[in-house]
Amino acid sequence: MTTHSPQTRTGIEFAADLIRQAKHAVILTGAGISTPSGIPDFRSSGTGLWSRDEPLEVASLSTFRTDPSQFFKWFRPLASQMFEARPNSAHLALAALEKRGYIKAIITQNIDILHQKAGSKTVIEMHGTMQTLTCTQCYHKVQAEPYIASFVDCGEIPHCPKCSQVLKPDVILFGEQLPQAAWFSAQREARGCDLMLVAGSSLEVLPVAGLPMQALDRGAHLIIINNTPTYLNVRADVSILDDVATVLPAITERVLNG
């Protein structure tokens, strides 16, 4: 059993009370919720992906268009980690809250599908998804699963079954706009919620980082759970600087069982 500090325990109790009282609670998750599942984040000093690679050189739309093999070479180990990863206790806690009706939607900056693997149903993927691939020539869309093993195991670049051109994972690269439908859905949830809980996000990547402000501007409560402070901690009703993988299960336990 995890032992939390008195400050964290107080935050857990307050957060649970706010969730129980909320009529429309929404979750915003970032990379920090998936690092306990073995998936590296992008910006942590020394361990983040961008501390080792230049993002515009390996993960931009222009790189993919001019040299897709460079992108796939960089992406292969990350794809392997994502497809082998399993939901951790934080993902499972949010799925339990959704199942019981305490939260209405999860807005995620992650592409790892772990919320869905945990059982969450209403997941808005702001930076795309690993579940599908789209042809760069004829725009035919396919499920990623049939192509995963050959790519991860052998490095085989996926090609369209219709026109044989390269298939691009439906993840948002640098230089691409966010998926319009997802962005509209996220804004609708942010503007319509009475509570937003931010979990595992440093709130550094716009425009998603602005969603909690949209909620605050309309009178919603705000809970932030992250290892490091964000620009909105001073505005949050509850701010917990701790591990989401232990804090979210503790909050869920209190919400569901008192």
DSSP helix/strand/coil, 232: coil
Helices (H), the chain: 6-21, 55-58, 61-66, 68-84, 89-99, 114-118, 145-154, 180-192, 211-217, 244-257
For residue 10, what are its two tokens? Answer: 């107080």
Q: Does residue 135 sit in the same domain as residue 227?
A: no
Give the domain extent around 98: 1-39+87-127+177-258
The pLDDT of residue 51 is 43
The pLDDT of residue 54 is 57
- CA distance linking residue 48 with residue 67, whole number of Å: 24
Report pLDDT digits (tens) over 187-208.
999 999 999 999 999 999 889 9
Q: Does residue 80 sit in the same domain as residue 146?
A: yes
Domain boundary among 147, 171, 195: 171
Percentage of the chain with pLDDT > 70? 93
Q: Does residue 51 sit in the same domain as residue 163?
A: yes
- CA distance linking residue 214 with residue 192, whole number of Å: 9
Write down the catalytic residue from 127, 140, 159, 221: 127
Q: Does residue 166 sit in the same domain as residue 230?
A: no
Domain CATH code at residue 67: 3.30.1600.10
Q: Does residue 183 sit in the same domain as residue 239?
A: yes
Q: Does residue 136 sit in the same domain as residue 165?
A: yes
Report pLDDT digits (tens) over 25-60.
999 999 999 999 999 865 544 444 544 555 556 778
Q: Quick check: is 4 catalytic?
A: no
Q: Does residue 156 sit in the same domain as residue 186?
A: no
Q: Output the average pLDDT for the chain.
A: 91
> Which residues, in sequence order, are bridge partners of residue 27?
106, 197
Going by pLDDT thresholds of 50, 70 and 90, the confidence category of residue 176 is confident
Going by pLDDT thresholds of 50, 70 and 90, the confidence category of residue 215 is very high
Going by pLDDT thresholds of 50, 70 and 90, the confidence category of residue 236 is very high
pTM for this prediction: 0.90
Q: Does residue 80 sit in the same domain as residue 92?
A: no
Q: Does residue 151 sit in the same domain as residue 114?
A: no
Q: Does residue 76 sit in the same domain as residue 202?
A: no
Q: Does residue 94 sit in the same domain as residue 55?
A: no
The pLDDT of residue 52 is 55
Number of CB atoms found within 10 A of residue 255's CB: 21
How many folded domains does the chain comprise? 2
Going by pLDDT thresholds of 50, 70 and 90, the confidence category of residue 80 is confident
Domain CATH code at residue 22: 3.40.50.1220
Q: Does residue 161 sit in the same domain as residue 246?
A: no
> Over the range 57-96, which residues count as b (16 or more CB within 10 Å of their CB) and which as e?
ebbbbebbeeebeebbebbbebbebbbebebbbbbbbbbb
